[in-house]
Amino acid sequence: MHTIWLPQLQDDAGPKYLALTRALRDAIRQGDLAQGAQLPTVRDLAFRLGVTPGTVSRAYQITTQEGLLEATVGRGTFVAARSPRLGPTEPLFHDRYAGLSVGRVDMRSPSLPEVGQSQMLSEAMARIADEIGRDWIDYTHQSDEAELRELVVDWLKLRVLGPISPDDIMLTHGGQSGIGLILDCCLRGDRPVVLIEDLAYPGFRYAARASRAEVVGIELDGEGICPDALEAACRRYGAQVLCLTPVAQNPTTARMSPERMAQIVAIARRYDLQIIEDECYSYVEAESPALRALAPERVWHAGSLSKTVSAALRFGYVVCPTGMGGAGRLAAQHRFFALSRPVSALVSDIFRSGAAAALRGKVYTEFSELLQVMVSRLGAYDLSWQTGIPFAWLKLPLGWRTYAFMRMAEERGVLLRAADQYAMIDGRAPHAVRLAIPANIARQDFEAGLAELAYLLPRPPSDMAV
């Protein structure tokens, strides 16, 4: 039951959402809102205060980030603590579920198949051992990475990115590191705004909040982000950055058409919006141009080797907008000087030898085969997927609610990722789950896990409200 709570905001100067944020903090610290108390819904409190739902939503979001509140889609917002927590308040997926997958079919995050990576890395490390010298003792420098940037340009030659050169490349410690560095380059002001997809890779939220940015979700349709909703958000918030996964939207697998891409680019130019194009799940060639090819002056194209060769390498790259490569590398220099010598030497070796490209093709083939196994078992349901992409999006049949399905799947040994883990605190999360391909387990175990899901899907709980 919702707590009856109505703060007085009339005498507060400044934006109403900040006044409400202060009132929430005071009420929690003073005990007027007890730990565990459920707050009014956004719309209910907005109506009683005579403010917009957006005002309440922003105040709830800030106090949730501070650790004073906790919110769960479908349950509500509750008082979590009487004093703010320091540091990050939202764990990453891998940390949040560490140690829970032993003896289970873990379909929460894709796992690469072993198609020769171990042997490749062993041989490469043996070769680079002969290169170790005095320069491995000193600090690394961006100037040492010139050849590796050239190799990255060659690695990307199958993507339609428009003209790119080594000067456009920024090297990073994985994709998440790249997103943070891009925001370092793009965000300005005390409270910048970052736009993300309504259902989106959570790393966008983590990186934006680490930069003290406000995060706003934009409505999706079957092709990804909706142009009308994007333009309305640009007018309302004056956003500076838009984060997208246009080729394989994570988690829905939606693919943006060239026409939709052109619409997004036109809006970005109209409102001087920088775009982060996250394409870590793009494996081989693509027929249509990437956003970077359509708007090279404002698109930051981010990728890594984590989904194609090895996640343990922690190697990523960003194709910066034309003329911005120097700024990107300067941002990286301020963060970590340059890549560690062992990582840069190892990645350079596997690029030069052609081993990385060969393994990328094998990984793509293996994921495509496993995806077909999933489709053959679950394709009769509302399943969205793309060939070679290591996850699918399953909208649950009528009668199921997400957490009931996840709980029962876990009881049968299958771990899944809920739709609301990709949603904003106040976002719209459908009753759906993402099914990632665990290519690191035996084929028969994977098929057994799919069989458990196929058993559950047509059998929703009899007492579940429809």
Average pLDDT over residues 338-357: 96
Percent share of the chain, pLDDT over 70: 91
Exposure pattern of 305-322 as b/e (b: 16+ CB <10 Å)? bbbbbbbebbbbbbbbbb
Instruction: Yes or no: say if 327 and 184 are a contact pair by the CB < 8 Å rule.
Output: no
Domain boundary among 336, 353, 370: 353
What's the pLDDT tens digit per position in 309-332? 999 999 999 999 999 999 999 999
Confidence at residue 58, expressed as pLDDT on a 0 to 100 scale: 81
- Band of pLDDT at residue 103, cut at 50, 70 and 90: low
The answer, yes or no, to whether residue 11 has pLDDT greater than 80, is no
> Who's near 108: CB < 8 A, 6+ residues apart?
93, 97, 101, 415, 416, 417, 436
Residue 366 shares a structural domain with residue 349: no
Residue 278 shares a structural domain with residue 391: no
In this structure, is residue 2 part of a structural domain?
no
Instruction: Yes or no: say if 212 and 189 are a contact pair by the CB < 8 Å rule.
Output: no
pLDDT: is 86 or 124 the higher one?
A: 124
Average pLDDT over residues 28-40: 89
Element of type H or E holding 444: helix 443-456
Q: Are strands 241-244 and 274-278 parallel, antiparallel or unpaired?
A: parallel
What's the pLDDT tens digit per position in 217-253? 999 999 999 999 999 999 999 999 999 999 999 999 9
What's the pLDDT tens digit per position in 355-368? 999 999 999 999 99
Domain boundary among 299, 332, 353: 353
Confidence at residue 84, expressed as pLDDT on a 0 to 100 scale: 65
Residue 105 shares a structural domain with residue 74: no
Amino acid identity, position 157: K
Residue 137 shares a structural domain with residue 279: yes
Check which CATH number belongs to the domain holding 52 and give it.
1.10.10.10
Domain boundary among 353, 385, 418: 353
In this structure, is residue 464 part of a structural domain?
no
Check which CATH number belongs to the domain holding 385 and give it.
3.90.1150.10
Residue 338 shares a structural domain with residue 362: no
In this structure, is residue 106 part of a structural domain?
yes
In this structure, is residue 11 part of a structural domain?
no
Based on the structure, what is the number of domains in the chain?
3
The answer, yes or no, to whether residue 153 has pLDDT greater than 90, is yes
The answer, yes or no, to whether residue 287 has pLDDT greater than 80, is no
- Band of pLDDT at residue 61, cut at 50, 70 and 90: confident
Residues 11 and 23: their CA atoms lie apart, in Å, by 12
Residue 195 shares a structural domain with residue 178: yes
Residue 336 shares a structural domain with residue 361: no
Residue 225 shares a structural domain with residue 300: yes
In this structure, is residue 84 part of a structural domain?
no
What residue spans of 248-290 are helical by DSSP H?
Answer: 258-270
Best CA proximity match to 293, nearest among 149, 155, 153, 159: 159
Average pLDDT over residues 71-76: 75
In this structure, is residue 422 part of a structural domain?
yes
Check which CATH number belongs to the domain holding 142 and give it.
3.40.640.10
Task: Indicate the DSSP class of residue 14.
Answer: S
Task: Indicate the DSSP class of residue 140.
Answer: P
Confidence at residue 399, expressed as pLDDT on a 0 to 100 scale: 92
Residue 346 shares a structural domain with residue 210: yes
Confidence at residue 98, expressed as pLDDT on a 0 to 100 scale: 47
> What torsion do the CA atoms of 278, 282, 287, 293 make, to the nearest 10 degrees?
30
Confidence at residue 284, expressed as pLDDT on a 0 to 100 scale: 56
Residues 153 and 189: their CA atoms lie apart, in Å, by 33
- Band of pLDDT at residue 410, cut at 50, 70 and 90: very high
Confidence at residue 109, expressed as pLDDT on a 0 to 100 scale: 93
Confidence at residue 5, expressed as pLDDT on a 0 to 100 scale: 83
Domain that holds residue 22: 16-79
Residue 245 shares a structural domain with residue 343: yes
> Who's near 253: CB < 8 A, 6+ residues apart?
384, 385, 386, 389, 391, 392, 393
- Three-state helix/strand/coil letters over 335-395: HHCCCCHHHHHHHHHHHHCCHHHHHHHHHHHHHHHHHHHHHHHHCCCEEECCCCCCEEEEE
Taking all residues of the chain, what is their mean pLDDT, rounded to a whole number?
89
In this structure, is residue 61 part of a structural domain?
yes
> Who's near 346: CB < 8 A, 6+ residues apart?
121, 124, 125, 128, 313
pLDDT: is 191 or 334 the higher one?
A: 334
The answer, yes or no, to whether residue 381 has pLDDT greater than 80, is yes
Residue 302 shares a structural domain with residue 405: no
In this structure, is residue 378 part of a structural domain?
yes
Average pLDDT over residues 188-200: 92
Q: Choose the weakest-confidence range: 29-33, 176-180, 337-341, 410-414.
A: 29-33
Confidence at residue 96, expressed as pLDDT on a 0 to 100 scale: 42
Confidence at residue 127, expressed as pLDDT on a 0 to 100 scale: 94
Residue 307 shares a structural domain with residue 449: no
